[in-house]
Structures are given as structure tokens and as C-alpha cells.
Structure 1
Amino acid sequence: MGSEMSDPGGGGGGVLKLRCSIQNYDWGIRGEESTVSRLFERNSGGRIVPEKPYAEFWMGTHESGPSFVGDRTLKSWVEENPRVLGEKVLEKWGPDLPFLFKVLSVAKALSIQAHPDKELAKTLNKKQPNIYKDPNHKPEMAIAITEFKALCGFVSTKELKNVFSNVPEIKELVGLEDANKIMDIKQQDKHEGVKAILRSIFTRLMSADKGKISELVLKLISRLNEESKIRKLNEKEDLVLLLEKQYPSDIGVISSFFFNYVKLNPGEALHIGANEPHAYISGECIECMATSDNVVRAGLTPKYRDVQTLCSMLTYKQGFPEILQGVPLNPHISRYTPPFDEFEVDRCLLPSGESVVISAVPCSSLLLVVAGTGSLCTGSAAGDTLISEGNVFFVLANTEIKICADKKLQLYRAGVNKKFFEC
């Protein structure tokens, strides 16, 4: 595997220390308030610019935000040392990490979006490679670091009827005939029939004339501001007022009524499959996904919108999404296992003076230190490696790690889903 295997990154046997990349998207939290900025400063020595947004901290092999082992990319190092991935991983996905690991610091809502399944991703990549850069799907999972808010999936039919009863601007935008289709849905109606109605109405809403959208968003905001003087607005109405300030006259302001409003407490997680609509609203999270950067957008964004593709690709599944709490592996580590082969995430909270062993797994993984200080050692290392906030390590397959905390540690490990190896 070459002499570099021993310790090119200065992390000890079986572990490589990484220098990682960031993204300064406009929706990021600015300056030192951003966890992304602090991790970046400590990981790579980059200077934090107070007025600059720090949105995403990327760990992995994706070319849009590569990680580095010394002065070379992790991707090139893995391609030269493919066996470090683990035999079954290499056989399934080739000489590359099948997952991308991130930290997000969200100050302003991200776009209403969905990620294509594998078949659609290949088609979009072939037709528009400058926009859809990966021929791969992008299921993902977000684990809240702080309170984290998001829109995800379509609300139930019951809630949708409430929307059409209480938001006259939506009824005006889609027309009385379509509005009545929603109101006339019966509990015994077949699922596919309800999906067809929802698809038709949502597509009409998202494709509406920009002038009409602008007019009705103003009408909606004016009405809510007036009503707030005589009643307490509900959470979704408060959200709509916030979104309108961030994205004036945007269809996403109105269409947010169609989606579940999800609030995660720290340590809770949300997983999102292919072709499911979502939009992160605020907060900070750990995110893991299949290695892809494909996003189909249709609202709450200044970027390219592909309304036709988004509306045609969605599953139109209704109901509140599953919230993962993490399954305890021991007193200090909880595991988040989404229904995707490519990844799972372990969260480790280690009090000062305590130690824990992270068991060897048959795949390589990425280890991130979000807070605290301590030390790390492996069975093949000559001594301990000091660790602190911002450290990221590439852990070779079948490597057991012992972590000791000096100051309370918060760590996350991303690896291939254990269920993949049980097949």
C-alpha cells in the first residue's frame, strides 16, 4: 500500500489527520458565531472574517470540497491505497468513500429542494452536467447540534384541508376547482388518487405566474400582520413571516404551508430519502449523505430553479417524518442508522476524565472533534495523539480507537451503514 500508509497525516497508526474544506454560501452563520468557522479555524488555520458567512464544513473525497492528507487530496490517497476502505466497501463502491460528512451552520433558510434517485441523477448529469454534477443519488441525514428547524415532506390530508380552509391566498392561487379537490378527499380514497391530486395542485402552485405570486404573498403577509394584532399566530404562520423577510415575493413563502415543520432538539436526527422535498430553516447540525452534490431547487433561492423536474420527481408521500433519537451503544456513544447503505453516524459525548473504545469496523470512517480536548490512540500507534476541536481523522478499516477526554469531548464518527455488512 506504499510507505505513506504508516502516518502521512500525523495521526498515528491506522489514523490519518485531515485538513478539510468549507463553503461560504450566503445562508451560513457569519463570523465566529458559526460552528463551521470555528472548526475551519482550528482545522486548517484559516482566519475568521467577521462579516463572512460560514455555511458548510466538508469532510470526505468530493471534488467540490476535498479533504487533504498533507499536501494531497484524500481521494488520491485512497485511490492509491484502496484496501483501507474495507474489502466489501471497495467491491460495492470502488476506490472512493461512499459518503460525504458535513457540519452545517444555518442562519437563513435553504432552498425548497429534493435530491434525485440514482436513475434520475444519471439522466440529469448527462443532460446538464454543469448543474447536476454527480450521477449519484443523495439520501441524507441531519443530527442537530443546536435546536434545528426544517421543512420536510408533505403534511397529512387532514392538515392540508386545514390549510385550504385557513389560507385563502393559496385557494386563490391554485383556483377553486383544485381547492375543492383537496376538500373533497375522503378517508377511504385510494392513496394513489390522493397523490395524483396533491401532485397536480402542488405543480400548479409552484408554476404560478410570478406577478400573481408576488401579489398574493403581499396579501398573505398583510393579512397575517393584521391578524397578529388580535390573535397569536401559529408556528407555521410565524415561519411564513420570517421566510418572506428572507425571500420576498417567493413562491416558497406560500408553499411552506404544504410541508411538515420539524424542530429537532440537540441529539435528534432527521433522515431524508431521494425525491423528498425539504428545506433547512435554521440551526446547526451534523450532516451525512451519499457522495453527491445534486440539488433540484424550486423556491427560497436566488439559484437556478428547476420547477418542472422537482414537481415531477417527488414521491408526494404524506405524514410527519421519522425522528431518530440514536440507539445507545454504551453510556457515551449513540448510533444513528438511516435506511441507506452508504452511511451511519455515531455521536460520542465523553465527560472529562472518562475514556471510551470505538470498536473496529470493516470500513474506513471519518472522525470529527466538535468540542473538547483529549487524546486518541490505536493498537498500532507508538503513542497517544492529542485531539481538540476541529480535528478530523480518516480511520482505516478494522482500526480500534481509544479516546480519553481531558475536557468534555463531543465527537462524531461517520462510516458505512452496519446493516450493509449484515446482508
Structure 2
Amino acid sequence: MESRYPKLKRLRCSVQNYDWGRSGMESRVAKLFALNSGAEADVQRPYAEFWMGTHESGPSFPLPAGCDNGGPDISRDVTLKAWISSNPDVLGDKVVAQWGCDLPFLFKVLSIAKPLSIQAHPDKELAGALHKAHPNVYKDANHKPEMALAITKFEAICGFISMEELKQVLRDVPEIVEVVGSTDVEKFIRLDEQEEEKAKSLLQSIFTKLMSASADIVALSVSQIKIRLELESQARPLTDKEQLVLRLEKQYPADVGVISAFFLNYVRLNPGEALYLGANEPHAYVSGECIECMATSDNVVRAGLTPKSKDIQTLCSMLTYKQGFPDILKGVPLNAYITRYIPPFDEFEVDHCVLPKGTSTVFSAVLGPSIFLVTNGTGTIHAGSMKQDLVAEGNVLFVPANVEIRVTSVTELQLYRAGVNDRFLESCELENGKKSQI
């Protein structure tokens, strides 16, 4: 049955001005927000995150009549979440059955001038407990698996380095041993590759001692690392990780996060490459700009590289202590113009579309909702029998389930689409098919 509401809903979206964001129009987030909202960016303020979705910390708003191809008048005070709650059919039956009357994903653009905090996101069980105990700090009860898709060259530290790499670090960075003591360090260095469970236990002990050390001890250790590396740089080229540590020290002097970077993988993405992170995995984005998608949550447990409050005990107890380099996604081509990034999470996937001038492509109808963001160029977009609608950089559109979208470029056009993971939707269809045969 045809919905009485427009198939495409333009959105006015929110911005976050965190300290680590890029200033003024050097920030892609600032530019997109200005184009999306009609507001002028403040050149003195950092613009960190552009949020597209239903989370109460940065809600999106359907635009009123006349801005979205007609339909019922919508107050600017009505959030996308409230509108969806009144019209759950736009989510599709499979999404409503799994997640209720809300978008399961949150879509963002990040502009990073200096590193985010060393952090991890809790799983659902821990998120529920943290939200109940500290609702002003942990804003919701959901988990937060996430994926970062690089727009520019992008740097991050994430996940613990391999056992052999960590053994070398413990041999080469004497300041760590001075902070945590030699007992666990010597035990770790003597481990065999097959002793993974012992490695996790010892790594947890070493990392917890490091992160829990007193501020005075940490400050002295960071200072000693800086002095030693600057001296050694005169005799040998520093490694990429050592250079990163010195960069972090300049931005966060005397911070334990500077030392903890030795424990984590240093990841550099080229544009078009993506990194995904599950619950309870340590990470910090360092620099660059990216598209980010995650489960609808804003829960962050911090432990370093931040002036904000830290919860070291919770972070150190929640981590998986899995070791090894993370998987890097390069995307799967759907056609000549669209590449899909599929993380191992049910809540989301991301498509990147690049259309040369004067070309068209189709986004097939899917069983869940989507959000489209135009990041470059101009073109037209239309759904089904609707008339073509002009789109340009900064436009954000909500597309209900079961709606096919055709996009045509006027100039070269780039856009991103976030939607529910197609593998999840296909598995629901397969399961329903099996039940119908019984």
C-alpha cells in the first residue's frame, strides 16, 4: 500500500563542536553543516562531528512542507525519531521486529585536527549497567560497534599489537617497565605463541598497571620517553610509532595515553579504505576526515589523551585484549559507480557512490531505511513515480524501506548511503522463507 507520506524526507542535522575538531571552514563538518542548515560556520570554533540520525544527543529534523516535495506539515521541533515513531512503516517490518521504532544506526562525518581520547565502547550488557548507574555520563543502554571510512588520508591507533610486537616494545621501551614493574613484563616476554590466554591475562595486568599509575609517575615517564627519543633521533631514524608518540606528547604532555600508544596498532588509511571496531576494543582516531557509521549510541569509556573525565577501571576491565592488526575494508563494487562497505555488524553498512557528470545509477529497494548524504556536486534524485528532486552538497535525505532510488549527476556527484546491513535483512528473508515452507 502506498504511504501517504513523501518517500524522500530531507533532514536538517546536528553538529558537535568538540575540542579535537577542525576549525571553521578548514573542517568538512563545518562546510556540510553550513550547507545543510543555512547557518554560517564560526571560524573560531572547532567543528568535529556532523550527526545524521535519531540519537537524542544530536537529533535530525525532517524539514517542513515545501522543502521535501510536499506532504503533511512538520514542525521544526519534531525530531526524526518522533516522526519515525509515528510512522514505523518507514523502517520496514524486519527492522521494527529487531530494533523497535528507531533507526538502528547513527551516521556521521568526522573532521579530526588532533587525537580523540583513548577509548572503547561497551557491549550491550555493560552499556545497560553503565547507563543505569551513571545516566548523565553514559547516555543510553546500547552498544556501539562502529566503522570509519576514510575521506582523506586517515590515522588511528586501535587494538593491541601482536604478541611478538609487544615483546619487542617491552624490551625497547624501558620507561614502561619502570612504571609497571618487571615481573609481568618478564613473564610476557617468555611466553610461547600458543599461550594466548596467558598472554591476555598478562597483557591486562600490564596495561591496567600502566593506565592506573599515578599522574606524577606517568609525567616523569612521558618526559623520559621524549628526551630519549629526541636523542636517539640524532643517531637513527625513528620508527613510525615513535614519531607518533612524540606527536601525541606535544598535544597531550604528561598523559598516559602517550605511553599506551606503544601497545596499540598504528593504522593509516587511504581514502576509500575503512576500519571497523567492535565493542570493548581500544582505539583513538588521530587525524583526518572520515565517514563514520555505528549502532545508535553515544557511549564512550575514556582512559587517556583527553581532558575529559576518565573511567580507567571500567575500560581496563572491559577490553577483550585481543591482539593483532585489524581488518581493513576496501569495499565491494556493486556496479561501476557504487562501492559497499560491509562490517560484521547487523545494524549498518555504508555505500559510496561517485557519479561522473551526466551519468545515472540506481540504488535498489531494500528492506530497511537509509540515509543519503551528498558530499560533492549536484544532481537529481527521485523515487518511483515521484518527480526528480534537485540535490547538492550538504543535502541529507531519509529514505524509507522498500523504495528504489535513481540518482543522476549534473556535475560530478559524490554521495554516501548508510543503511541496515543487507546480510541481516537477507537472513531475515531466508528465515521467513523457511518458515513459510513448514
TM bucket normalised to smaller: over 0.9
Moved more, 305-314 or 162-171: 162-171
Q: Which residue of 204, 207, 211 maps to 2:212?
A: 207
Counterpart code for 1:80: S
Please list, as runs of the form range in 1=range in 2, the aligned pairs for 1:111-190 lying within 5 A after superposition: 111-189=117-195
TM-score calculated relative to the size of structure 2: 0.93
Post-superposition offset of 1:2: 12
Partner of 2:13: 20
Deviations 1:297-337 (A, max 9, x none): 00001111000000000000000000000000001001111
Q: Do residues 421 (structure 1) and 414 (structure 2) align? A: no
Please state how far the C-alpha of 1:6 moved relative to its aligned partner: 3.1
Is this contact kept in 1: 2:29–2:49, CA < 8 A? yes
Q: Which residue is equivalent to 1:221?
A: 226
Q: What SS class does the counterpart of residue 371 from structure 2 fall into? A: strand
Residue 6 (structure 1) aligned with residue 5 (structure 2): yes
* TM-superposed deviation, 1:171: 1.4
Q: Residue in 2 aligned with 1:274?
A: 279
Alignment of 1:273-312 (within 5 A): 273-312=278-317
Q: How far apart in 2 are the matches of 1:254 and 1:158? A: 18
What is the distance in 2 between the residues matched to 1:197 and 1:350? 51
**Paired residue for 2:391, among 370, 387, 392?**
387
For 1:421 and 1:54, the matched residues in 2 are separated by: 35
CA distance in 1, matches of 2:39, 2:58: 15
Give the C-alpha shift of residue 187 in structure 1.
2.1
Q: Partner of 1:43 in structure 2?
A: 36
Tell me how far 1:408 sits from its aligned partner. 1.1
SS state of the match for residue 407, structure 1? Answer: coil
Please name the residue that 1:83 is paired with.
Answer: 89
Q: Is the 8 A contact 2:241 2:262 kept in 1?
A: yes
Could you list the per-position Cα deviations for residues 264-295 of structure 1 after superposition, in whole angstroms to 9, with x for gaps in the alignment?
A: 10000011000000000000000000000000
2:341 paired with 1:336: yes
Indicate the residue corresponding to 1:242 in structure 2. Answer: 247
Cα deviations across residues 121-153 of structure 1 (Å, max 9, x unaligned)?
000111111111111100000000001100010
Distance 1:118 1:59 in 2: 22
The question of whether the paired residues in 2 share the 8 Å contact of 1:2 and 1:81 is answered with no
SS at match of 2:411: strand
The reply to whether residue 317 of structure 1 matches residue 322 of structure 2 is: yes
Q: Which segments of 5 or more consecutive residues in structure 1 lack a partner in the other structure?
A: 8-13
Shift of 1:174: 1.0
Question: Out of 54, 78, 96, which is 1:61 matched to?
Answer: 54
Take 2:361 and 2:100, find their aligned partners in 1: how far apart are those partners? 32
Amino acid in the other structure paired with 1:119: E
Matched residues in 2 for 1:407 and 1:106: separation? 28
Which stretches in structure 2 are left out of the alignment for 5+ residues? 64-75, 428-438
Question: Which amino acid in 2 is paired with 1:63?
Answer: E
Amino acid in the other structure paired with 1:68? F
For residue 116 of structure 1, what is the amino acid of its counterpart?
P
Q: Which residue of 1 aligns with 2:410?
A: 406
Q: Matched residues in 1 for 2:127 and 2:12: separation?
A: 29
**How far 1:27 sits from its partner (Å)?**
0.1
Match of 1:95 in 2: 101
Instruction: Give the corresponding residue for 1:10.
Output: none
- How far 1:46 moved relative to its partner? 1.3
- In structure 1, how many angstroms separate the alpha carbons of the residues matched to 2:84 and 2:5? 14
Q: CA deviation at 1:173?
A: 1.0
Deviations 1:192-228 (A, max 9, x none): 1111011111001100111000001001001111111
For residues 385 and 102 of structure 2, the distance between their equivalents in structure 1, rounded to whole angstroms, comes to 24
Report the Cα distance in structure 2 between the residues aligned to 1:192 and 1:181, rounded to whole angstroms: 13
Which residue identity does 1:400 align to in structure 2? E
Counterpart residue number, 2:430: none
Aligned twin of 1:255: 260
The CA distance in 2 between the partners of 1:363 and 1:229, in whole Å, is 57
* AA in 1 matched with 2:34: E
Could you list the runs of 4 or more consecutive aligned residues of structure 1 that deviate by over 2 angstroms after TM superposition?
Answer: none
Q: Distance in 2 between matches of 1:415 and 1:229?
A: 51
1:152 aligns to what SS in structure 2?
A: strand
1:109 aligns to what?
115
Whole-angstrom distance in 2 between the partners of 1:2 and 1:95: 20
Paired residue type of 2:170:
F
Decide whether the 8 Å contact of 1:373 with 1:386 is kept in 2: yes
Partner secondary structure for residue 261 of structure 1: strand
Which residue type is aligned with residue 279 of structure 1?
A
- How far apart in 1 are the matches of 2:218 and 2:187? 21
